[in-house]
Structure 1
Amino acid sequence: MAPNGAVHREDARGHRYPDYGGNPLAHILSNTDSVRLPAFGGAAQVGLYKPPPFQFGNPVPLGLSGFALTTFVLSCINLGVRDISEPSIVIGPALVYGGFIQLLAGMWDIALGNVFGGTALTSYGGYWLGIGIILTPGGFRIQASYSQADFYAAFGFYLFAWMIFTFLLWLCTLKSTVAFSSLFLTVWLTFLCLGAAYLDAQNNANAMPNVALTRAGGAFGMIASWLAWYNMLAGLLDPSNSFFIIPVVHFPWSDKARMDRKAKAEAEDEGV
């Protein structure tokens, strides 16, 4: 066992390196030139990176959990679970947990030098704060300033703007892990379905969002919430607090996978 809590392993050339299992940030106390970590959703890192040069906790699991819980609640409503369709219950978590807390986590991640993680968490914190403000009855009179059909169309514009933003973030995850990239893909599909559902309200006789598209958005949102919790758990679990580590699965074309294939080929060559 290494002094910092990581298990040391040897590659084909006999070089020793720390193996942090599913959580490469586990017990890292200092930054050294010899430690380069692979992309990891539990830290919202999309490429090879060094641990921060100062001691600071990983804020990403907190941000992911805020996003996951708020998305789960709203997705239950979009799916029509127990025939509940009024989204007022989302206002509280949207303003506090998914909004303010996630925004703080993003700011802390920027302090760690993680531009992608800080941008994503802070932005989605702003998204949930916006949702909370829009849905607050009476206080901001946003919905009351439109006809019902026009409000749904305008809300569709808001969702489509976030769909574009999420698609751009998803492009940045294509060299990371399956678990992390799938999260942004399902969030993108959620915004796509819900935005189309609300824009379709002007085409319906009852001026209501398209039910099928709303249900599809709820389904993708539910998957996204569980993927966010999965990545959160990957960021929390390590050998000091768990009997198991969950896999994050690096893409075959990622830097991590290429390094693994190279090490395996060198080991086979030396074994011949």
Structure 2
Amino acid sequence: MSNTVATMATSTANVFTTTTTAPLTPPPLSERPNEFPIVDSQNTLTDFSSIQQQLIKNSSNNLSADSIICVEKTTTHHNYYDVEKLAGDETAKNTSILSSANQSTMRPFGMGNPAIIANWGFATVTMLMALHKLVLPTGSNHLMLPTALMYGGLAQFLAGFLVLFGGDSFNGTLFVTFGAYWLGSGMMMVPSVGQSLDVYAINHEEATTTAIYLFLWSFFGLMVCGISLKIKNGSFLSSWCLFFIFLNLFLEACYNLTGIVSLMQASGVACICASVGGYYSGIVDIFIEQGVQMWTGKYRQ
């Protein structure tokens, strides 16, 4: 009987001995999966486990590997990492850090890029104007009224304000300005207004006034073309469009002063060049959202 009791006591002791073990240790960092790859501005991957090891070695607070979050902060000149301890919170929230270099490309509420509408509205109405100047340089342009008012005018005007809201001051200002220009030009294409202006077209003073109006707009086009050469986000594509807009308006103003039809047709050729640039700009903006970079001739400032 005593032997039985001793055997039971020994087995019970063995049970407690086997169940009382040292605390579990996490697997080595080198064996853990890279759950949080780091992507820098050059699209290169940094091994997360190596960053964890370095941080834990240099830390005096006994940070665990699972409580470290590395968030990329992109600045104009360099990238650096911000390390935070989650203090027992196992669920990390998505963190978005907006850099000053990317403010013009960020849009709220998942909004698309309004510059596409503005570029294509500008390009379409400019192409219509070009074809009219080449085929009917001295004819009525009243059939352009719907496109000039709605697509080249109102749509471009509103899209320009959305671009401004997204932080792009230069392009937003251009879209609002040329949208307003086409709204005004569309109003002059209304048959009743156009016929009234045609009555006074034979008057030399009226032609001179129209030329002054067009010279003013051509000066604006030349001014913003020069600005596009010096701003941070300037490109050959934007300078191309603005230069041919300036040339179009300048040649049309010269036609109003001289009455030489070939000047109006040359103005139409300049419109085609500007329109092609506008269509291409819209295509570039679409493919940027797809992660495809297309050539724009960006200047290095």
Q: Give TM-score, length-normalised by structure 1.
A: 0.68
1:84 to 1:168, Cα distance in 2 relative to 1, 3 A: closer
Q: How does 1:68-107 map to 2 (within 5 A)?
A: 68-80=123-135, 85-107=139-161
Q: How many Å separate the matches in 2 of 1:144 and 1:240?
A: 48
- Tell me what 1:197 maps to: 255
Q: How many Å separate the matches in 1 of 2:289 and 2:185?
A: 38
The answer as to whether partners of 1:177 and 1:249 remain within 8 angstroms in 2 is yes
Amino acid across the alignment from 2:43: R
Q: Does 1:113 align with 2:163?
A: no
Q: How many Å separate the matches in 2 of 1:183 and 1:100?
A: 20
| Greater Cα offset, 146-155 or 222-231 | 146-155
Over alpha carbons, which structure has the higher Rg? 2
SS at match of 2:43: strand
SS at match of 1:85: coil
- Tell me what 1:52 maps to: 106
The alpha carbon displacement at 1:142 in A equals 4.8
Q: How many Å separate the matches in 2 of 1:110 and 1:240?
A: 22
- Tell me what 2:98 maps to: 32
Q: Give TM-score, length-normalised by structure 2.
A: 0.62
State the structure with bigger RCO (CA 8 A, min sep 6), 1 or 2.
Answer: 1
Q: Does 1:148 align with 2:202?
A: yes
> What is the aligned-residue RMSD (CA, Å)?
3.2
SS at match of 2:239: helix
1:50 to 1:120, Cα distance in 2 relative to 1, 3 A: closer
User: Structure 2: which 5+ residue stretches go unaligned?
Assistant: 1-35, 46-71, 75-94
Q: How many Å separate the matches in 2 of 1:239 and 1:147?
A: 48
Query: Could you tell me which of 270, 284, 292 is aligned with 1:234?
Result: 284
Q: Does 1:215 align with 2:265?
A: yes
Query: Could you tell me which of 212, 217, 239 is aligned with 1:181?
Result: 239
Instruction: Count residues in correspondence.
Output: 214
Q: Deviations over 1:67-123 (max 9, x none)?
A: 100000010011127x88331221111111100111101111121222212211111
The answer as to whether partners of 2:73 and 2:97 remain within 8 angstroms in 1 is no
The answer as to whether partners of 2:104 and 2:168 remain within 8 angstroms in 1 is no
SS at match of 2:264: helix
Q: How many Å separate the matches in 2 of 1:68 and 1:31?
A: 35
- Tell me what 1:129 maps to: 183
Q: How many Å separate the matches in 1 of 2:161 and 2:218?
A: 22
Q: How many Å separate the matches in 2 of 1:140 and 1:78?
A: 16
Q: Deviations over 1:180-219 (max 9, x none)?
A: 111111111111111111122xxxxxxxx32111111100
Q: How many Å separate the matches in 1 of 2:139 and 2:114?
A: 33
What is the aligned-residue identity percentage? 22
